[in-house]
Copies of this chain bind each other. A is one copy, B any other.
Amino acid sequence: MKIRVINPNTTSSMTEKIGEAAMRVAMPSTQIIASNPVSGPVSIESHFDEAISTIGVLEEVKIGEDEQTDAYIIACFGDPGLMAAREITRAPVIGIAEAAFHMASLISTRFSVVTTLGRTGIIAEHLLQNYGFSHHCRRVRAAEIPVLDLEEDPNLALDRIIEECLRAKAEDNIGAIVLGCGGMADLTAHIRQEVGLPIVEGVTAAVKLAESLVSLGLGTSKYGDLDFPRPKVFTGQFDHLSEYKKR
């Protein structure tokens, strides 16, 4: 089984870490292809960054389709481009935020999210509401660390995340914590140990959900809402998509 783990930002060191985290939990028979777009933001910390990164996510799915990919993972906690990506493939597409919410709700009655920056909290809140998990989440918290600090000063970042997780444990009346950033994928084990609560991380959760759907013979429904987009002309820098859509 071939799973393409798409890091929507263009920081390849983060892509590498995400790929390694994915491989650690994948079945031996699963091939993990971690990739990131050539074009886009080096980190995703706003709706604007998300919107731009979506183009790259879709390009990566396009590449994946040429390679007979069995499932896709969008490895940014805002799940950018999730619905659009689902439209252009029969394979399952999993966002890491949704993956983490699903898994957390299976092992606890209530969880909190610890994300990077306060301003991205609203993205998590919107996803919780859209997906139906609002009642399962007590609180969205931020460690107030920029995403790339996870690369540049991992120890300080780790300390701050653990601190915020401990506050969540003490104050939120929860049974689990969801880590709210793809860049935290390699820190999970350490955080789990320090915090003493189940820590649910989205990249790894998504790998297992993707493998699960493929094993079940389930892919994105091509009946109704998520069917392939109607073929049409795209102009300007996107005119290659006119071709693409006619496939």
User: Contact residues of A with B, CB < 8 Å?
Assistant: 10, 25, 27, 37-43, 45-52, 54-55, 58, 81, 83-84, 86-88, 92, 94, 98, 102-103, 105-110, 118-119, 121-122, 126, 129-136, 146, 169, 173-176, 192, 196-198, 200, 204-205, 208-209, 211-213, 215-221, 223-227, 229-230, 232-239, 241
Pick 18 A–B contacts, CB within 8 A, sort by A. Answer: A27-B215, A39-B239, A40-B235, A41-B233, A42-B232, A47-B86, A48-B87, A48-B229, A51-B55, A54-B54, A55-B55, A55-B238, A108-B226, A132-B136, A197-B223, A200-B218, A204-B216, A205-B216
Given contacts A230-B45, A232-B41, A238-B41, contact A218 B88 (CB under 8 A): no
Cβ-closest chain B residue relative to A51: B84
A244 to chain B, nearest CB (A): 10
A191 to chain B, nearest CB (A): 12
Given contacts A225-B108, A226-B108, contact A208 B198 (CB under 8 A): no
B131, B225, B230, B236: the one contacting A10 at CB < 8 Å is B236
A sample of 14 more A-B contacts (CB under 8 A), given A119-B227, A175-B225, is A27-B27, A48-B87, A51-B84, A55-B238, A103-B212, A103-B218, A106-B209, A132-B134, A173-B224, A174-B224, A196-B223, A208-B211, A208-B212, A212-B212
Q: Is A46 a contact partner of B221 (Cβ separation < 8 A)?
A: no
Chain B residues lying within 8 Å of A25, measured Cβ to Cβ, are 215-216
Given contacts A223-B197, A224-B173, A241-B52, contact A129 B135 (CB under 8 A): yes
Chain B residues lying within 8 Å of A81, measured Cβ to Cβ, are 51
Complexed CA–CA distance, A89 and B107 (Å)? 11
Given contacts A54-B54, A213-B107, contact A238 B40 (CB under 8 A): yes
